Amino acid sequence: MFLILPENEEGLIELLPILGANKCTRPESWSVMAAALREEAGSAQNRRWSLFALPPPDDERLAMISEAVAEQLSQEGQAVLDLQVKMVTVPELQAVAAGLGLSIGLVAVLKSKVGELPPLLESSDRELMAAIAALGGTVSTGQVASHLRKRPVPVRKRLQVLVRFGRLKQTGRKGGARYSIPG
């Protein structure tokens, strides 16, 4: 596994030991880096590789997460989040921690692979899923927004979060994106 971070990304640096990334390689150019990646990949020619981009955290989402974290802090003195259940990404977690002046200590939650996804905690997420089911199972953002009488932009943002965490399947891109409930 490779982790490529911008040099000025201070927030995720503290997570490097947890990820096992203890050795920073500093190639002199992108071509040298590509050669190093090919060498590290070895002779696994039939293995497929994917490069993932992490979008920057959305300001509205950060505000919601910050509010939930601040509420837990005031009640319990610390905030404990199951990232999968709360559908929060590590960059979002880091941005919230930096914004609130908090440090991050990760706790592993080990779960059986077998079984259902955890229940959706947010009533708005349950409402989105019910709307998709009611509309026939494969829908556009506009159809869901119209059905729920909400603006399309916030609906699309939440649908994308549900896709990221495996609650929905997305086909197509941008204006042609369609969402369906997997399985």
- What are 50-56's contacts with CB under 8 Å, separation 24+? 54/89, 54/91, 56/91
Q: How many domains does the chain have?
A: 3
Query: 16: domain range?
Result: 1-44
Q: What is the pLDDT of residues 117-135, one digit of tens each?
A: 778 888 889 999 999 999 9
* Residue 144 within any structural domain of the chain: yes
Amino acid 13 reads: I
pLDDT at 5 over 90: no
Residues 38 and 69 in one domain: no
Residues 4 and 39 in one domain: yes
* Residue 118 within any structural domain of the chain: no
Of the candidates 17, 6, 104, the one whose C-alpha atom is nearest the C-alpha of residue 54 is 6
* Residue 166 within any structural domain of the chain: yes
Amino acid 128 reads: L
Average pLDDT across the chain, whole number: 83
d(CA 38, CA 161): 32
Q: Using 50, 70 and 90 to split pLDDT, how confident is the model at 165?
A: confident
Question: What's 174's domain CATH number?
Answer: 1.10.10.10
Q: What is the pLDDT of residues 7-43, one digit of tens each?
A: 666 666 667 766 667 667 677 788 887 777 777 776 5
* Residue 75 within any structural domain of the chain: yes
Residues 36 and 69 in one domain: no
| Helices assigned H by DSSP within the chain | 16-19, 30-41, 59-76, 83-86, 90-100, 123-134, 141-148, 152-164
